[in-house]
Amino acid sequence: MTFTPAQLDEKGKTSFQNADFEEAAQFFQQAAEGYALAKDEALTAEMKNNMSVALLQAGKNQEALEAALGTDKVFENMKDVKRQAMAFGNQAAALEALGRYDEALSAYERSAGLFAQVNEEDLRAMVLKSVAAIKLKTGKFTESAFTMMGSLDAKQNLTFFERIIKFFLRLIKK
C-alpha cells in the first residue's frame, strides 16, 4: 500500500507518541522523500527536523544531527524565522548529545536570538535553559547563572520552583 507524504507524517507522529522513535524516524524520512519529490522544500525540511527529534530520542545522535543540518537555510530563505530557530535548536540538541558543547552553544544562541526576534519568549526561555545547562556542565558557573536568569526573565509565567530559583539567582547576582 502506498501512502502520501502527509499520511506518512501522521504515522510518524503516532509512532513518536507511542515512543517508537526509530519507526517514527523512518516514517518522517519517507515523508521527507515524498515531499522532496513534490518539490516542497518547506515540508521536506519540516520532516527532516521531525526525523532529527525522533532519532535523538532513539539515541542516534549523529544521525539526528545529519537529518537537521541545512534545514535552517531552507527556513531562512523562506523568511520563516520561527522554524529557522527550531531548526537551530534541533541541531544544537544533537550537537550537545554528541558532546560538541561549543558548537551546541553557538547553535542554541542563534536559536534563542531568532526566537527573540519573533517574540517567542517561552521557546527562547527553553533554549536559554539548555545554554545554561551546558555552561554548568562545562564549569562556567557564573555564566550559567546569568543565562538561567535571562531564561527566567524571558518566560511569561513562572512555576513556583522557577520563582524560587529566580529569587536565589538574584541574591547571587548582588
**pLDDT tens digits for 98-144?**
999 999 999 999 999 999 999 998 898 889 888 888 888 877 655 65
| Residue 156: DSSP 8-state | S
Residues 20-59: tens digit of each pLDDT: 999 999 999 999 999 999 999 999 999 999 999 999 999 9
Instruction: Tell me what pLDDT residue 134 has.
Output: 86
Q: Are 12 and 27 in contact (CB under 8 A)?
A: yes
Rounded to the nearest 10 degrees, how much is the dihedral formed by the CA atoms of 57, 86, 153, 106? 90
Q: How many CB atoms lie within 10 A of CB 122?
A: 12
User: Whole-model pTM?
Assistant: 0.80
Q: What's the pLDDT score for residue 148?
A: 57
